[in-house]
Amino acid sequence: MTNKLLLGCGIAGAPLFIVSSLVQAALRDGFDLRRHHLSSLALGDFGWVQTATFAVTGLLMLAFAAGLWPAFRAGAVCFGVYGIAMMLGAVFPDQPAFGFPPGMTADGDATMHAVGAIGSFIAEVGGCFVFAVHFLRRGRKGIGMYSIASGLAAAYLVVTMDPTQSSSAPRLVATCLVTGAWMTAVAVDAWRGSGSAVATAQEAVARA
C-alpha cells in the first residue's frame, strides 16, 4: 500500500464515526441525541452497525497513522492511539444507559469501553496541539490556529462533560463534530501534500 493511499485512509476514517453515528441516531427507534450516548448505538438489534463503525474507523485511522509515520512521528502516534481506542470501542461495548436500548438493562462492565473513550479524547485533544505546533513552526498560521481552536473547544467540552448524566450526550456529539472536522482537515491536508506531511514523507522515502 502506497504512502499516499495510507494518508487517504484518514480522509475516509476521520469523519466516519460521527457521520455514521448521526445517521444511525436518526434511524434507530428510541434513540435521542439529547439523552443517549453515541456508544449506545452498538447495543440492540442493529448494534452491529455501530460496532462495525468503531472497528472500520479504528483500522482506517491506524492506516493513516502509518502513512504519517515517515514524516511526522508525533502526529502518527496521536492518530495511532485514536485508532486503537476506537478498536477498543468495537471489542468492548458500552452498557445500556438512560433507557436505551428500550427494555435492556446493564449486565456487564464497561471499564474497557471507558478506557477506549478516554484514550480517544486524549489522542484527539492532544493531537490538535501537537499538529498546531507542527503547522505553526512551518509558518502555516491558518491551519495551525484552527488546530489550537479545535483543541481548546474539544478540551472544554470534555472536561465539562459528566458521562454519568444524560445531559452529557449533546456535549459528546459536539466533541465528535469538532474533532471529526479537525481530523478530516488534517487528513486532507496531509493527502494533498500542500507543504505538509506527505511531501516530507515522499522526500524521506526518496532518500532511503
Binned at pLDDT 50, 70 and 90, residue 18 comes out as very high
- pLDDT above 60 for 208: no
Beta bridge partners of 97: 100
Q: How does pLDDT run across 142-196, given as a tens digit for each residue?
A: 999 999 999 999 999 999 999 889 889 999 999 999 999 999 999 999 999 834 4
36-40, 94-98, 144-148: least confident range: 94-98
Percent of the residues in the chain that have a pLDDT greater than 90, as a whole number: 81
- pLDDT above 70 for 7: yes
Give the model's pLDDT for residue 201: 42
Q: Do 79 and 68 touch, CB atoms closer than 8 A?
A: yes
Binned at pLDDT 50, 70 and 90, residue 44 comes out as very high
Most confident of 11-20, 105-114, 194-203: 11-20
Q: Which residue has the cell 502513512?
A: 67
Q: Which residue has the cell 480522509?
A: 11
Q: Which three cell numbers stand for residue 205?
A: 522515502
Give the model's pLDDT for residue 203: 47
- Among residues 55, 62, 60, 127, the alpha carbon closest in space to that of 89 is found at 55
Give the model's pLDDT for residue 106: 76
Binned at pLDDT 50, 70 and 90, residue 1 comes out as low
- pLDDT above 50 for 200: no
Distances (CA, A) of 89 to 123, 160, 163: 14, 22, 15
Q: Is the dihedral of CA 92, 35, 81, 9 positive or negative?
A: positive
Task: Report, in this order, helix, strand and coil percent for the chain, each rounded to 5.
Answer: 75, 0, 25
Give the model's pLDDT for residue 136: 98
Domain boundaries of the chain, sorted by first residue: 3-101+108-198
